[in-house]
Structure 1
Amino acid sequence: MYTNNKLSKAVRLAIAFGAVSATAFTASVNAAEEEEVAKVERIEVTGSRLRSTDLQGFSPVQVIDGSDIDTSSVANIQELLLKNPAFGAPAISRTNSNFSTSSAGASTVDLRNLGTARTLVLVNGRRYVTGVPGSMAVDLNTIPAQFIERIEIMTGGASAVYGSDAVAGVVNIILKKEFEGIEFDVQYGESSEGDAEETQIQFTTGVTSANGKGNVMIHGSYTDQGAVYSKDRARSAVDIASTGAYFTGLPEDMFDVTSPYYSSYAPQGRFFTGDTQYTYNSAGELVEGWSTNGSDTREANGFNRNGARTIAIPTERYLFAGRGSYEFADGWTSFIEGTYASSQTTTQLEPFPFDTESLYPNSGGQMPIEFESFVADPLNPGSYVRNVVVNPLVPQPIVDAATDTDGDGLRDIFFSRRLADVANRGNVADRDTFRVVGGVEGEITDGWYADAYFGYGQTKESQVSSGQVNVLNFRSALEVIPDGQGGYMCRDATARAQGCVPANVYGANTLSDEAVTYIAAPGLLATFASQKYAGFNLSGEVFELPAGMVGVAFGGEYREEFSRSEFDPLQQAGLNAGNAIPRTEGEFDVTEFYTEVNVPLLADMFMADQLNLRGAVRASDYSTVGSTTSWNVALDWAPIPELRFRAIRAQSVRAPNVDELYSPPSQTFPTGLTDPCVGITNASTGAVAEACRAAPGVQANIDANGSFTQNQSDAQGISGYNRGNPNLDVEKGKSWTLGFTFSPEGFLSDFDFNVDYFDIEIEDAIVSTPRQFILDQCYGGGDASLCDFITRRPTAQGANSAGSLEYIDSGVTNSGGFATEGIDFVITYGKNLEDFDLAGRFNARLSYTRLLDGYSIPLPGSEKDVFAGEVGAAEDKFFLTMGYEIGDFSISWNTTFIGHSYLDDQFLSGYDLAPESVGVGAVTYHDINLSYKPSDSYELYVGLQNAFDKEPAPIITGLPGNSTGTETDASVYDPIGRRMYAGVRMKF
């Protein structure tokens, strides 16, 4: 709660500007009005290091009070922050990271749709260690929600005040400084489907010393959030896909839903012998032919991947936090604060899709089923006879149909199989985050304040994954020969000596437990990130002008960042049939100094109740990119006490993180790509057609099929490598913020109005060139050099796969640009209903953002890639909270609105469709909380999240933005559905 007194209403509003809850604002105002203390306390508000009573109008700061967190009953503050329209879709959350190879289940935030890396998260105005090694992203799972006093959100550049990463803005989480007594909170909830069980237990206690100079507070909490599986939601129980995601069709039907849309990698296997295919039916019988999704005359042979996928990752978390302070001298306090978080997340997805191309890449994936040996000729001593042995596990019809396709004189086959009898894929990750900060703060002399601090933080992750295999062992286990005693054995003697067990892949569930033990390769990941920093700040007033005192602040900080991520040797080499992900390690340090000044120009004059000019500049020296400079200039004008205007011009910088600098080539499997060559024929004209036919594989495909054709497995099997760049430089963001605060008197005195225009442009942005952009530029887009990043299959199993995309690589460069522009509206209303002869009090607050423009530029000179209005960046978003209190009862009703959104324009252009021609409708969510507080000691509460069980927008598999397994964009829309909860909160 804010404790300033004798502030004008406009200044009090600025302090609470943008608060998500009107209740918090009202509580602050009432406290200020009731307090009758002579001394005016100087405070520091996010966006400035100056301590003053009247600078809050400079920056558009939005505030979430601790009571808002209590009312929302969220287990993770990410859930509450994302309701604010200033935030875009998060890079990582519990519902969009099931397929992540690391950091699954972490919680990050993204202001203004400019990326997590451009949003700086602070705790008590200081840095917080990353929860995602290699980046600077803070995992909000590690910050105890009930230990938070308030959260201040400032959008727009703030690097001059806080340093790198504050290009889009700052989220400053302010923890409680003092607590006395005991607070205990227990809550349980679950979804209306009977899953997503959630248990929260929280405990806070504090004590003040007898002399009143010291206080110690301790917090502990336990949270257990249960899983939600794809199979348990009707929309995602069965694999489906947008036809247009993989096949060319007419515009009127290209986005029809194909259901089922099973995978061609099935547990019973699929065996290719030249032009003939074999598989096993549901009765376990070997049959010829294949039908992935089934037909009128044949059962489906494909596999339903959604039967094993997860919508929401189960997360178990323990949190401990503490703070101690002691006033060791008059006006001087020492403090220490610490946080420890331990969490465990479990991901689950379908078994690994495996084929012999991983085993025999040099032979095009052809696996031998005949083996050559030479034995002594008993009739001709000293001579040898060629002996050919057939793998005894291969069914005779497959043996009979097999041919020699690689020219070695031995028959071979190609097979694909989902390794269901090994295990589902997934990982169990244990993360530990520790942070401690200590320092001193106080008043040097009248009006001059200082603080100094030292902090250390670290995050460790230990992950064990399942479902993958040792490629070398698997190859040995597949090469089987008779053992001469009526059985069979691995052909390689060395492998036999090392425990090789023959692997029978012909049919479902045919791998023996011993074979699984031999070929299985559980993956291991160990990560470590650390942060060390020390700094000081000094602020005060230097001299007086006619309009007031000139305020200054200056300080410095030294910071070291280190990160390491290391998979097991098989994963690093790509020998466990998964992505090849090498070890990443790097570090950097930075020394920074800043100064900030506020100059009062006019005061107490006609049309100039206040006019202030503020400026700040920060100089930084990085061990990686050298010297950087950031700055801001702000003008604050209050023509009358009720009306206040602000204008801010800022330049912010962001230095590259460890991953961007040092990441070696790491493999990924991108989705949602459109191959420009699909549908091209020998008669097609134009630059795209010519560029496509220049690729030998594409031409061979056209010659065989009449037009370039790709099959389902090809479209689902595109891979590629991402690379870092040690030569990166900083990116620079320049922003304008123009706004006003209107807090009228008279008949509108119960209203407060806030409007801010923002315009942020980022130059030399650090980007990985989008793969769709690479494809479009290579094939007729004017930049043939990008074709070097593309590898097509020159030959494959069947004519349809020739020329299909195999790899599309991407690297990190300072070649991008971003821009976003929009208007924030915040309206607050609070009224005691006694004026209407009614009981109780009503509060309401509307936060609305209109996104006017937003785009990225992949490379200099390229066309803008507009994201404003697309899924995840709706042009219209608002959050409305309404509360009513009467006696011991209160009700809160929150409404979140996400406007009509369109599919990515780059995706649509691949089908000759205009931007904003295909999209999804607006979505509105309602949350309700009821509480009863019969005494000051305890409170009972119940609530509903997504009270009307609103279905998420149908962003299905194959469409850009889809979160695999959810059939929506789970970063934007709620994939779980209605949740109910109840709890009790006790205070003593």
Structure 2
Amino acid sequence: MRFQRIARFAAGISVAACSISLAHAQSMPATPDQAPSGEAAPGEANEPGVEIIVTGTNIRGTKVVGNSVLRVTSQDMLDSGRSTVADFLRELPSNFAGGVGMSDNAQGGQDASSAGSNLTGGQGVNLRGLGALSTLVLVNGRRVAASGQYGDFVDISTIPSTAIERIEVLQDGASAVYGSDAVGGVVNLILKDHDDGLHTTLRLGTTTQGGGSEALLGGSYGTSWSGGHLFAAYEYYHRDRVRADQRAIYNGGDFSDRGGINWPQYTARAGTAANIFSGTAAANGTVIATVPQGSNDALSASDLTTVSDGVGNTYNPWANVDVLPRVRRHSFYLAAEQELSDALTLSGDLRYTWRKTDYNSGYAVYYGTVPSTSPYYIDGSSNNFGVVIDDEGLVRKARVDSFAAHLALDAELGSGWHARFDGSYSREVQSRYATMLRNTNIMEHTASGAYAPNSITCALSGLNSSNIGALSSPSEAQSYCAGLDYETWNPYSTEALSQAVLDELIGYEDLRYVSQLVQFTAKADGTLFPLPAGDVKVAIGADYRREQIGGALSFNYRSTDDEYIQYGTTRRQVGALFGELSVPLIAPDMNVPGVRSLDLSSAVRYEHGTGLGAFDTVNPKFGLDYVPFDGLRVHGSFGTSFHAPPMRYMYDGVQPTTGGNGAFLRTNLYTAPCDTDLVALNGVSGTPGGSGNCTFTAIVVSGGAGDSLKPERATTWTLGADLEPPMIPGLKLSASYFNIRIKDRITRIQSGTLGSILASYFATGSSPYSAALDFDPDEATVEALFDDPRYLGQLDSGPTQSASDVAAIIYATQVNLAELRMDGFDVSASYRLETAGAGTFDAFFSGTRLLSYKIQAAPGSGFIDQLGKYSSTGNPVKFRSKQGLGWRYGPWSVRGTVNFTSSYECESGCYVPDASTGAPVLATSPVPIGSWTTLDLNIGLKLGGIARALADSSLAFSVVNLFDADPPFIDSGTAVNDTMADPYDAANATAIGRTVSLTFHKDF
């Protein structure tokens, strides 16, 4: 095994050596003055004598050969009107599906929603729509600790915008340079390390539809001395919550005014005055009566109000729900550098962010049965009820503490060689406190070993140590409840509940995760030998990193006593060797016909990972730049990339929390057409053999794939051209084709997609996720899951199910799907016109057009094109673009930006209202989703000419979404019994609406 690893790396080095040999064979003796000096990144002026590293290469002072690097400055972010780095990058055209967790959408699934694995509501980057896993995010060129329960993205919302110098985006695979995760591209957030004087920023903003008021206060200070400099920055950010009832598009869940479904009529059949059901109490069950207002301590059947429409009372599922939470953030940053001698320089930086978010997450709704032992049992009634518990709103409070430190030693070795030694440490502490119903019990057991009743069941029972003796032969469950001495809950009362009863009904979850990363890098780069076209440069180095993530959970919402569970900490060690070569073959002064210049590059990196999720891989990359004449650059690249499975994907230990590892049974949540023969129906809801949808019993196994996962392996190639015609000064045009092929693609069935996946399967009989769907499982497999420590029991109030009743097992874990193929174009254009008397005019355009996004479910099966096909977790749309005009004249500047997302469709799995009844039914033809166009406006004014006190100060007025365009409507219900269908696709739009802000900047 060790020999094979060495052989693979040696093969990669041999490729680089061949490039050197080829170049040397064509070389001629070079004079010293032919050696080029360090070059700046495109559009950037170097400090005198400073050679910088550009994202995408390890060689100082060279450009990236074969690719173009997108460069965003701090001024670009200011002109955008966006308040945070995360919000700005969301609008990057190649950042498909909006990254991670912009808004707290109900259908976001475990990995996107802050109610699931993205436990603090962090934001990530999703280049190419491949998922945040496939985008490598660096800060100052270094990896940082990962976020989320699974450690599957980097939270860019912890980065203070005050400290940003620039952002560089390489939109191509780059594992040959950076190792794992650089499949869709690399985003490098480069923070300032020097400045002069004091700089202050104050920003105030708000949304015009209500909520979302924000304030940002930032300051930075830079100073320098002989041989050194220091930079420090602080930023405070506050944003108020945006509630769903402040946005008309939610309309209490009734979308019938837009051709959608009035969801509460069919999936929210409960009220503060309880409904009584004829059969099993369920959100879409048949209501036969409602209770009156009052304490209702001694109701009889005659006191009930008969319901004839089967609906009864309904509730607004969006009441007391935040679209965006309240946020507070403090960020600190410090960087310094000191020359130790003529040859040695020491530098370092520290960064700390504390962020707290506070969500309102609605009201608890419970469907159950009042037993005959309760003093509130109604004789002559089914006592199957549904009620909204609105005495106490549910909350979700999250906090993140993010810390990073970096130290580097640079050494000039002479003869054009330079060495650098880096060490960095980062730590992310994430915590979330949430309240929710206490409707399961996975911890306590009765004397026989069976699961004990849950807290709500005991609160309904009416049993306590004083009256249990009245039962001649109480069951184990009844005796257990009596021992708790609970105050009895009367679900038929509309009066305020006591705090004791609320504590019995509403529990908590207190989750904490700690993610850490240590990285050491040693590298050297310099001139290998000269060629007639310039110096052949090389970089070689070694890298080591250690990653770990672990957590703990305190809770009582799945127990009757407070419980504490420590999760196993997962660790990985990764060692790497890398080499890179830059070869100039032809230079302009060589006067070669048809070739102004020609440059080659090659890179190779070997990575070996041990710990949970071992891997072993070698990834090469080759680049070419060809300039046939001044103003035109043709470039191309080819290489392989990979990303290793996040450690927590492979950890299959118990994590009894939302979005964590677990297995649970449901009888009334998953549906299929009542006339299907693809799954056995249980009749809890619907009539098997009839029309409409019927429920089936399923076990969902969530998270924790174990050691079956393999790294994703990608092959990427690009071909593009950059044009700056000399005859039209100021014009820049660029186009690049990219092609990505990923094998062993890692994906996961999430809660937000499961409904549409099942609907598509029952409609077509096949699914890209067929490997994760086990219909008609054998009883031994089911029994094994019943005995699995992750099994959480039956999570609904339907009839108790045995192993023989289970009709399906859904493995909502991570799996390596066979293959993904995609290709497309990145296009950009800009033009600057400088006039003598009317100022400077700018026009700009950038866009990404995808041509395909095809998924193969299993080797040998066909590819299914998901491009432009709606998914609640965000399949990419075909086209995104950003374009606009700018004008600067004297102290004034004006910039207008149009953001465009193309239309797409929901091909299968979406629900529409039945033409005659209005009930949710599966759409039989694709449902179109409109395009979305928004206009942003920024007006800036330098104030120095107004008053002396305002010297070196400026004011900017910004409007995001100037015309307050609503997101395209889509009735995004994921199942016939969906209780919180979103009225828009949060992966490709937002419901925030128009935002206005005023920013004042002052330099001292």
Instruction: Quickly say closer, same or farther: Cα 1:736–1:120, change in 2 above 3 A.
Output: same
The secondary structure found in structure 2 opposite 1:368 is: coil
> Structure 1 pair 911/512, CA: closer, same or farther in 2 (3 Å)?
closer
* 2:279 matches 1:280: no
State whether structure 2 residue 73 is matched by structure 1 residue 65: yes
| 1:201 maps to 2:225 | no
Q: For each residue in 1:540-573, what CA deviation from the matched residue of structure 2 results, as whole angstroms up to 9, or x when unmatched?
A: 11112233221111111111111113222546xx
Aligned to 1:386: none
Alignment of 1:321 onto 2:324: no
| Aligned counterparts, 1:574-973, within 5 A | 574-575=558-559, 583=567, 585-603=569-587, 604=590, 605-623=592-610, 624-664=613-653, 666-667=661-662, 677-680=672-675, 689-692=676-679, 695=680, 697=682, 704=687, 706-707=689-690, 709-710=692-693, 721-746=702-727, 748-768=728-748, 771=754, 773=757, 780-781=765-766, 786-788=773-775, 808-834=810-836, 838-871=837-870, 872=874, 873-905=876-908, 907=910, 913=924, 917-935=926-944, 936-958=951-973, 966-973=982-989
| Greater Cα offset, 272-281 or 64-73 | 272-281
**Cross-structure match for 1:335:** 347
Q: Does 1:100 align with 2:108?
A: no
Note the 1:204-603 alignment, pairs <5 A: 204-209=220-225, 211=226, 213-240=227-254, 263-272=268-277, 277-281=288-292, 300-356=312-368, 368-370=371-373, 391-394=374-377, 398-402=378-382, 413-421=383-391, 423-469=392-438, 471=440, 472-480=454-462, 499-509=485-495, 511-568=497-554, 570=556, 574-575=558-559, 583=567, 585-603=569-587
The alignment's TM-score, normalised by the length of structure 1, stands at 0.81
CA contact (8 A) 2:527 2:538 kept: yes
Deviations 1:874-913 (A, max 9, x none): 2121101322111111111111011112125565999574
- The CA deviation at 1:46 is 1.1
Return 5+ residue gaps in structure 1 as ranges. Answer: 1-5, 17-24, 244-252, 357-365, 371-390, 403-412, 681-688
- Residues 906/112 of structure 1: CA separation in 2 closer, same or farther (3 Å cut): farther
> Is the contact between residue 264 and residue 317 of structure 2 (CA under 8 Å) also seen in structure 1?
no
Residues 911 and 975, structure 2, Cα contact 8 Å, conserved in 1: no
Cα offsets for 1:320-357 (capped at 9, x unmatched) = 0110110111143211111100000112222233334x
Please give the per-residue CA displacement for 1:780-831, whole angstroms capped at 9, x wherever unaligned.
43969932588999995799xx999897332322234222211111111111
Q: Within 2, Cα distance between the matches of 1:351 and 1:902?
A: 32
Alpha-carbon distance between aligned partners in 2 of 1:536 and 1:789, rounded to the nearest angstrom = 55
- 1:137-156 map, 5 Å: 137-156=153-172
TM superposition shift of 1:833:
1.9
Task: Rate the CA distance shift 1:676–1:474 in 2: closer, same or farther, 3 A.
Answer: closer
Q: Name the SS of the counterpart of 1:109 in structure 2.
A: coil
Q: For 1:644-668, what per-residue CA distance to the aligned partner results, in whole angstroms no more than 9, with x for missing partners?
A: 1111011001111122111446359
Assess if the C-alpha contact under 8 Å between 2:365 and 2:386 holds in 1: yes
Q: Which amino acid aligns with 1:192?
A: T
- SS of 2:328's equivalent in the other structure is strand
User: Deviations for 1:500-556, whole angstroms, at most 9, x for unmatched residues?
Assistant: 222222233453222223444222111111111111121111112233221111111
Matched residues, number? 881
- The partner residue of 1:158 within 140, 156, 174 is 174
- Identity of counterpart residues, as a percentage? 23
Alignment of 1:182-197 (within 5 A): 182-197=198-213
What are the ranges of 5 or more consecutive residues in structure 2 without an aligned counterpart? 1-32, 106-112, 281-286, 441-453, 655-660, 783-793, 913-920, 945-950
TM-score by length of 2: 0.80
Q: Are the equivalent residues in 1 in contact too, given 2:911–2:972 (CA < 8 A)?
A: no
Give, in whole Å, the separation in 2 of the partners of 1:880 and 1:863.
37
- The CA deviation at 1:279 is 2.8
Distance 2:402 2:539 in 1: 32
Does the C-alpha gap of structure 1 residues 960 and 446 become closer, same or farther in structure 2, counting only changes over 3 Å? farther
* Cα separation, partners in 2 of 1:548 and 1:198, compared to 1, 3 Å: same
Structure 1 residues 57 and 513, CA, compared in 2 at 3 Å: closer, same or farther? same
Report the counterpart of residue 86 of structure 2 in structure 1: 78
CA deviations on 1:231-261 (whole Å, 9 max, x unpaired) are: 1111113113689xxxxxxxxx996665765
Seen in structure 2, the aligned counterparts of structure 1 residues 369 and 323 have a Cα distance that, compared at 3 Å, is same
CA 784–173 in structure 1, closer or farther in 2 if over 3 Å, else same: closer
CA distance in 1, matches of 2:700, 2:344: 59
Distance between the aligned counterparts of 1:865 and 1:265, measured in 2? 41
Name the stretch that deviates more: 776-785 or 81-90.
Answer: 776-785
CA contact (8 A) 1:897 1:923 kept: yes
Cα distance, 1:675 vs structure 2: 6.9
Instruction: Say if 1:291 and 1:300, in contact at 8 Å, map to a contact too.
Output: no
Aligned residues of 1:236 and 1:965 also touching (Cα < 8 A): no
- Deviation of 1:226 after TM superposition, in Å, equals 1.1
More displaced stretch, 929-938 vs 660-669: 660-669
- In the alignment, the residues of structure 2 paired with residue 919 and residue 289 of structure 1 have an alpha-carbon distance, to the nearest angstrom, of 49
Q: Distance in 1 between matches of 2:240 and 2:702?
A: 34
How much does 1:724 deviate? 2.1
- Cα distance in 2 for partners of 1:182, 1:45 equals 28
Q: For 1:234, what is the secondary structure of its paired residue?
A: coil
Residue 179 (structure 1) shift: 1.4
Cα 1:139–1:818 shift into 2, 3 Å: same
> Aligned-pair distance for 1:49?
0.9
> Equivalents in 1 of 2:334, 2:969: separation in Å?
44
AA aligned opposite 1:203: G
The structure-2 alpha-carbon separation of the partners of 1:352 and 1:925, relative to structure 1 and needing over 3 Å to count, comes to same
CA contact (8 A) 1:591 1:620 kept: yes
Task: Give the superposition deviation at 1:72.
Answer: 2.6
Residue in 1 that maps onto 2:918: none
- Report the AA paired with residue 338 of structure 1: L
- The 8 Å contact of residues 794 and 803 in structure 1, kept in 2 or not, is answered as no
Deviation of 1:968 (Å): 1.1
1:407 match: none
Q: Distance in 2 between matches of 1:297 and 1:570?
A: 38
2:789 maps to which residue?
A: none
On the 8 A contact 1:121/1:127 being kept in 2, the answer is: yes
Provide the rounded CA distance (Å) in 2 between the counterparts of 1:861 and 1:578.
50
Tell me the C-alpha RMSD between the 2 structures: 4.2
1:498 Cα deviation from its structure 2 partner: 5.2
d(CA) in 2 for partners of 1:829 and 1:425?
Answer: 52
| Contact 1:241–1:259 (CA under 8 A) maintained in structure 2 | no
Distance 1:849 1:613, change over 3 A: same
Deviation at 1:284, TM superposition (A): 7.5
Does the C-alpha gap of structure 1 residues 261 and 908 become closer, same or farther in structure 2, counting only changes over 3 Å?
closer
Query: In the alignment, which residue of structure 2 is the partner of 1:50?
Result: 59
Secondary structure of 2:437's match? coil
787-796 or 630-639: bigger deviation = 787-796
